Structure 1
Amino acid sequence: MSAAVAAPPAPAEVIPWELFKTKMDKAGLSEAAQGAFKLNYEQLVRGVTGLVPDRDIDSVQELPRLEALKASAEEGADIKACRRRCCRGCLHPADVPGLLPPACCADLLKQTAVLKLNGGLGTSMGLEKAKSLLEVKGGKTFLDLIAEQIKYTRQKYDSKVRFVLMNSFSTSADTKAYLRKSHSDLLEERDVELMQNMSCKVDAATLKPAEYSEHPDMEWCPPGHGDIYPSLLGSGMLDRLIDDGITYLFVSNSDNLGATLDLDLLAYFAGSDKGFMMEASGVCEREVSDKKGGHLARRKKDGRLMLRESAMCPDEDKSLFEDITLHKFFNTNNLWVNLRKLKATLDASDGVLQLPLIKNKKTVNPRDSSTPPVFQLETAMGSAIECFDDAGAVVVPRSRFAPVKTCNDLFALRSDAYKVTEESTVVLAAPSPPLIKLDDKHYKLVDQLEALAPEVPSLYHCKSLTVKGPVRFLAGVAIRGDVTLTNITETPVELRGRTFEDVSLEV
């Protein structure tokens, strides 16, 4: 996400809101979507930067840990409390502080919906369709694995947990076509699709709606995943879910293979009676590679938890933002929401959550730097943590955060270092996850990767693999320990039937 850019001072003439309203009315945007955009636009006009300096926050040093909660529950749990089609005790015995008496997994699942964010195209990996349709393991796409996880949970617990995909105008058609072919039973269900809204691009010079007659579609942009709240409200889905007895919503990115519906997290969230929780709520101990991700903090003025994204950090505080000993916990975008409390919070704020603005300055045609500059106004769904009086966060295992963001991730995932379980989850099979660094010049895009790695080598015993230059992997290659392979030419070198162990060499 690009750095926050200060807005120009508001022009002397008042920018008529009607210009935006007329445009959004014509596009059929709901009142909730328009209200959310209006809040962002008003912040832009007022010159709100959205920046949060370190002096305004306290770092979060301690949070509840899932492992400790599970241990406490197991010590006092009556494992016979839940035996109706369940194979284990449920995680909320009465003697664990803040939790409900024991209840059945099936009962909780009937009150639960799983929502996967599915609006991204994976353009950074060279994709032009919904990223969830990318094959990731054993001929399965992200969407296949997600759908099979839902079906497995339903069958095992005899409880029809609800399933929702939040699509964008860029991914809806492709996603539904794939579901129609491979999982038609899911597509036929009520409210399986929640459509993301569109947001007007704002002309950076005039603060009026951006215009681009060559490609009018480029006058619009995604509003960020904070749009989930106006989308739920404006579409009527929030009320329909509540009317159907759904109270708990688990939200995660479709490309995060670690973000499965965990019953321990569900039971803890239900028992806590919180309105919002970040993983069982998705917070992990930060690693060096995560230092640019949004982190949790506590706002000094009111003591509330908040999420500070990288675009919200002033330049002078970047070193503090990236200090993983100071800001220890980052947002995995796995969120749990109590829908009844969300509804009450929205009602109390006239249908618009007061999410902090994230401004991105781009050009109206992002592929043409000579076109007029625009502001894209976005929000992050994790920022809602500051909108609830009773929000919380839980530290979860690193395995809960396993997104596939690059071809390095995909290369490792397709190897024997990972396996697909009976539950259609992807788990580490190797002793430790391999660290992969492929040459971006030759492997950055999926089609490049597939051309150079038609057969992914064995990485079961690999600690790290660095590839410099074009190396084409064919059948029978194994990597063990720490290996660096270098090809100084531009012509791919083919490898077949070889084992490399703790070596750095030119091939």
Structure 2
Amino acid sequence: MATVTLSPAEAEKISTLQSAVASLPQIRQASLILLHFFCFVRKNCVLIENEKSGFINLVARYLSGEAQHIEWSKIQTPTDEVVVPYDSLAPAPEDAVETKKLLDKLVVLKLNGGLGTTMGCTGPKSVIEVRNGLTFLDLIVIQIESLNAKYGCNVPLLLMNSFNTHDDTQKIVEKYANSNIDIHTFNQSRYPRLVVDDFIPLPCKGNTGKDGWNPPGHGDVFPSLKNSGKLDALLSKGKEYVFIANSDNLGAVVDLSILIVVTPKTLADVKGGTLISYEGKVQDILGELTRKGLLAKDPWLWNEELLEIAQVPDENEVDGVKVLQLETAAGAAIRFFDNAIGINVHRSRFLPVKATSDLLLVQSDLYTLNDGFVIRNPARANPANPSIELGPEFKKVANFLSRFKTIPSIIELDHLKVTGDVWFGAGVTLKGKVVIAAKPGVKLEIPDGAVIENKEINGPEDI
């Protein structure tokens, strides 16, 4: 190992870690992590000083047990005073001058660090086409353009990229050069993954490519906004409020009546966080815990628009090596705010596209498009969206699109399950509960104009 000169603060942090992990047999070597890391970064200059400090603090909290531990006996369901219905809010100001004053203090920040790999796409997920040839990013820009044009305000758009999406996003935003909104980008931090067996950073073992690193979660939005200089620049321009949402959440749009919202949890939301009352304050508990059944009956879902700092350790595998990546979640920051509340809104404000089944929903007649806003069709009587399950043949966006001549009408659909080699014609209508399961080795084509209601289809004879 090369000789490394540590600053007094770094040396003190390592000493603290060594003491903290000395009694933990499974990670006795963990105190070496920072020494290895310092050797690596000082030799290769791969991290800026702020990122190094953030990484040190995150690892120190994880190894020393400084991170908060929830005592389950103290958890309570939020009261009506903590989670209030949207209809109880004061309406947005009708006076255009007052509205402009509010909006001129607002910044829209979209989390743009995700890739579209789960749906078979390359590059930023925000450039996937979702409706009428428009991408997530197109719709976001159109929404803010409409807002600025209507009220004569200046709401800027900030995109927090990751090292995975930065280069592509910089090229993409050039097409909005003539827009009436200011678009700014900044990068979130990049931290090394840790090898589970010995807690040595993966890049220190020779994997210096992108797989050796991870973005540390959307909780990193707070330090990265500050470290990038964007926070000071925005404050100097009189900005006071920031609206934070994932770029793939089409329902997360600016509403002057809302600061923080929650929406009732469904079975599709096991990854979402949950609002709780804990020792007299509102807190957010992450989906990792919810997935283990600890809060299975709690009805509240924490939305991405909210402010989440709790640690989220996540194990993955890179080239056969088990690695740990430490992340934080933005919503946990709610515990730092006195008198914080959640607002229970309709599911229309939580419309993320995580899979092609979600894409089918937003591309269908269940929604219409107006000034970039995806609006639910009032002809849908059922307040809940249809449940849609698509087989692996539909997983990738390109395959999904090729299997539909046009997206079926699903206004009266309750549940759809499709498996096997299924192809949809134009003008198909699906109603009630529909199961379409092609037999192995058989291509099943749903003819143009077919109306299928409460049926199970296994072959042409069933249509």
Q: Residue 438 of structure 2 aligns with which residue?
A: 487
Q: Would you say the 8 A contact 1:221–1:376 is kept in 2? A: yes
TM-score by length of 1: 0.78
Q: Pairwise mapping of residues 414-493 of structure 1 onto structure 2 (< 5 A)?
A: 414-421=363-370, 423-429=371-377, 430-431=379-380, 432=382, 434-493=385-444
Residue 61 of structure 2 aligns to which amino acid in structure 1? Answer: Q
Q: Pairwise mapping of residues 252-271 of structure 1 onto structure 2 (< 5 A)?
A: 252-265=245-258
Which structure would you say has the larger RCO, counting Cα contacts within 8 Å and 6 or more residues apart? Answer: 1
- The reply on whether 1:200 has 2:192 as its aligned counterpart is yes
Q: Would you say the 8 A contact 1:434–1:464 is kept in 2? A: no
Alpha-carbon separation, structure 1, partners of 2:145 and 2:425: 35
Residue 454 of structure 2 aligns to a residue whose secondary structure is strand
Residue 281 of structure 1 aligns to a residue whose secondary structure is coil
Q: Residues 237 and 290 (structure 1 numbering): CA distance in 2 closer, same or farther, change over 3 Å?
A: same
Q: Residue 350 of structure 1 aligns with which residue?
A: none
Alpha-carbon separation, structure 1, partners of 2:401 and 2:136: 17
Q: Residue 334 of structure 1 aligns with which residue?
A: 305
Alpha-carbon separation, structure 2, partners of 1:64 and 1:438: 31
Q: Residues 485 and 396 (structure 1 numbering): CA distance in 2 closer, same or farther, change over 3 Å?
A: same
Alpha-carbon separation, structure 1, partners of 2:128 and 2:243: 23
Question: For structure 1, which runs of at least 5 residues remain unmatched after alignment?
Answer: 1-6, 85-103, 266-279, 338-354
Q: Would you say the 8 A contact 2:251–2:348 is kept in 1? A: yes
Q: Would you say the 8 A contact 1:116–1:164 is kept in 2? A: yes
Displacement of 1:362: 2.0
How far does the alpha carbon of each residue in 1:375-408 deviate from its partner, in whole angstroms, 9 at most, with x for none?
A: 1011001111123345332222221111111111
Alpha-carbon separation, structure 2, partners of 1:170 and 1:224: 13
Q: Residues 208 and 319 (structure 1 numbering): CA distance in 2 closer, same or farther, change over 3 Å?
A: closer
Displacement of 1:114: 0.2
Q: Residues 494 and 135 (structure 1 numbering): CA distance in 2 closer, same or farther, change over 3 Å?
A: same
- The reply on whether 1:139 has 2:133 as its aligned counterpart is yes
Q: Residues 8 and 257 (structure 1 numbering): CA distance in 2 closer, same or farther, change over 3 Å?
A: farther
- The reply on whether 1:55 has 2:73 as its aligned counterpart is yes
Alpha-carbon separation, structure 1, partners of 2:35 and 2:368: 54
How far does the alpha carbon of each residue in 1:406-452 deviate from its partner, in whole angstroms, 9 at most, with x for none?
A: 1111112111221101x210111141455243332221221221221
Alpha-carbon separation, structure 2, partners of 1:144 and 1:264: 25
Q: Residue 172 of structure 1 aligns with which residue?
A: 166
TM-score by length of 2: 0.85
- The reply on whether 1:233 has 2:181 as its aligned counterpart is no
Q: Would you say the 8 A contact 2:41–2:47 is kept in 1? A: yes
Alpha-carbon separation, structure 1, partners of 2:79 and 2:294: 14
- The reply on whether 1:15 has 2:35 as its aligned counterpart is no
220-229 vs 459-468, which moves further: 459-468
User: Percent identity of the aligned residues?
Assistant: 31
Q: Would you say the 8 A contact 2:145–2:179 is kept in 1? A: no
Alpha-carbon separation, structure 1, partners of 2:246 and 2:310: 21
Q: Residue 209 of structure 1 aligns with which residue?
A: 201
Residue 118 of structure 2 aligns to a residue whose secondary structure is helix
Q: Would you say the 8 A contact 2:186–2:225 is kept in 1? A: yes
Residue 163 of structure 1 aligns to which amino acid in structure 2? Answer: L
458-467 vs 407-416, which moves further: 458-467
Q: Pairwise mapping of residues 154-169 of structure 1 onto structure 2 (< 5 A)?
A: 154-169=148-163
Q: Would you say the 8 A contact 2:155–2:181 is kept in 1? A: no
Q: Residue 295 of structure 2 aligns with which residue?
A: 321
Alpha-carbon separation, structure 2, partners of 1:230 and 1:23: 23
Residue 141 of structure 2 aligns to a residue whose secondary structure is helix
Q: Residue 84 of structure 2 aligns with which residue?
A: 65
1:39 to 47, 54, 57: 57
Alpha-carbon separation, structure 1, partners of 2:389 and 2:76: 38
Q: Residue 215 of structure 2 aligns with which residue?
A: 222
Q: Residue 98 of structure 1 aligns with which residue?
A: none
Alpha-carbon separation, structure 2, partners of 1:261 and 1:390: 22
Q: Would you say the 8 A contact 1:415–1:457 is kept in 2? A: yes
Alpha-carbon separation, structure 2, partners of 1:386 and 1:155: 36
- The reply on whether 1:290 has 2:269 as its aligned counterpart is yes
Residue 264 of structure 1 aligns to a residue whose secondary structure is coil
Alpha-carbon separation, structure 1, partners of 2:253 and 2:30: 51
Q: Would you say the 8 A contact 2:282–2:340 is kept in 1? A: yes
Residue 500 of structure 1 aligns to which amino acid in structure 2? Answer: I
Q: Residue 3 of structure 1 aligns with which residue?
A: none
Alpha-carbon separation, structure 2, partners of 1:437 and 1:357: 32
Displacement of 1:242: 0.5
Displacement of 1:210: 1.8
Tell me the number of residue pairs that the alignment of Structure 1 and Structure 2 aligns. 429
Residue 402 of structure 1 aligns to a residue whose secondary structure is coil
Alpha-carbon separation, structure 2, partners of 1:489 and 1:13: 51
- The reply on whether 1:362 has 2:316 as its aligned counterpart is yes
Alpha-carbon separation, structure 1, partners of 2:61 and 2:307: 28
- The reply on whether 1:308 has 2:285 as its aligned counterpart is yes
Alpha-carbon separation, structure 1, partners of 2:227 and 2:375: 37
206-215 vs 137-146, which moves further: 206-215
Residue 464 of structure 1 aligns to which amino acid in structure 2? Answer: H
Displacement of 1:209: 1.9
Alpha-carbon separation, structure 2, partners of 1:8 and 1:171: 39
